[in-house]
Structure 1
């Protein structure tokens, strides 16, 4: 859900924007302000993703307000004056709509908002802390394995051979179950019986993968497309 704030000194302008938003259920209008000062107070105390902003308002214009904001959300300027467009885009507004606004033009602006919002969400997700370990069942107990220490995994019936520098540990899990709990950007299945840690790969040809410790792992025919370009992604 995208939280939006409408800022315009004219009540009719609010009504027009709300009318356009009726078919956009992913936009949640959390407030309506009739001055820049009122809007700045709302922005300081709430998480606002999108600002519908007028330019000509008493006391402080929309452009002047944007210049002093500490944290600026995405902005769609809605104005009857075209001459402020350049200033708006210099302040990195997402779009500039001229009153009266058509539904088609309004929808185009919202599509830009969504695209930027999704890119920001994806970037935030990519910055999430990387998992450091996994806890697996070994014999009758549990053991914590550092992900960066695992060279590769080998299917062994209803068990998995987990290979590290210090040797092999037999884990009570199928390979399929274990794969589902490993980060897919780090661990790649290259054969029905093998999963490799991409951080340990030093060589690759059409038949096998070579790891830092000198071990070679066969590449299954059906898995070859998955590992094409592996070095470009490392």
Structure 2
């Protein structure tokens, strides 16, 4: 399921997008926000894969809001004004929907997402899927990284830092994509920007986890999952 939020101050537009979402089975609506401030609070406390973002918002425009985000989810812009389309390309949005949004046009957007990175297909031959390592592309090379070597992973926009005891790799990939590739049970998402290898955890205290020499924050929406490790 793709977790999404609607950031829109017009009630009718909120209802239209929500209605379209209900007609598909790929989306989970996490929240409806009336302005950028409400949206920022949701993003700080919950995992969100996709934002339906109105450009004309009270207080701060949708585009200015995007400029404030260090690691934004995927974005679909919604607006009644076609003249913002060119400016929106600066943010690499996946689609630009003009109001009123028809379900036919909305469906085209859904298909675009299906063809992209959010919808991963199950491998036909699971026996060919590596269970102990992954190949990471960094600086035009592919590095073989054993899962047992990874201490933690830090997300930064469209890039990841992968930390091992001996080296650090930077690769062009998303946290959601990486999370799907890691073996379950050995890694835990503790923050929207951090994945931690359970065997490398030294201690858990307050809202932080100690891994090697790093202190990693625990996000509010991930704390219950982290505390289950202690129990």
**Aligned partner of residue 23 in structure 2, secondary structure:** coil
Q: Which residue of structure 1 aligns with residue 32 of structure 2?
A: 32
Aligned pair in 2 of structure 1 residues 35, 25: CA closer, same or farther (>3 Å)? same
Which 5+ residue runs of structure 2 have no aligned equivalent? Answer: 124-133, 137-143, 149-231
* Closer, same or farther: CA 31–94 of 1 in aligned 2, 3 Å: same
2:60 equivalent in structure 1:
60
Query: Residues 74 and 113 of structure 1 are in contact (CA less than 8 Å); yes or no, is this contact kept in structure 2?
Result: no
For residues 60 and 76 of structure 2, what CA distance do their matches in structure 1 show?
Answer: 17
Change (3 A) 1:126 1:41: farther
Question: Residues 1-234 of structure 1: matches in 2 within 5 Å?
Answer: 1-114=1-114, 115-118=116-119, 129-130=145-146
Higher relative contact order, structure no. (Cα contacts within 8 Å, ≥ 6 residues apart): 2
Between the aligned partners of 1:47 and 1:89, the Cα distance in structure 2 is 24
Name the CA shift for 1:71/1:10 in 2 (closer, same or farther; >3 Å): same
* Alignment RMSD (CA, Å): 2.5
What's the TM-score, normalizing by structure 2?
A: 0.52
Q: Corresponding residue for 1:205?
A: none
Query: CA offsets, 1:137-187, max 9 Å, x none?
Result: xxxxxxxxxxxxxxxxxxxxxxxxxxxxxxxxxxxxxxxxxxxxxxxxxxx
Pairwise CA distance, 1:119 = 6.0
2:108 and 2:18 map into 1 onto residues whose CA distance is 16
SS of equivalent residue, structure 2 residue 13: helix
Bigger radius of gyration, 1 or 2?
1
Tell me the CA shift for residue 101 of structure 1: 1.1
Give the TM-score taking structure 1 as reference length: 0.51
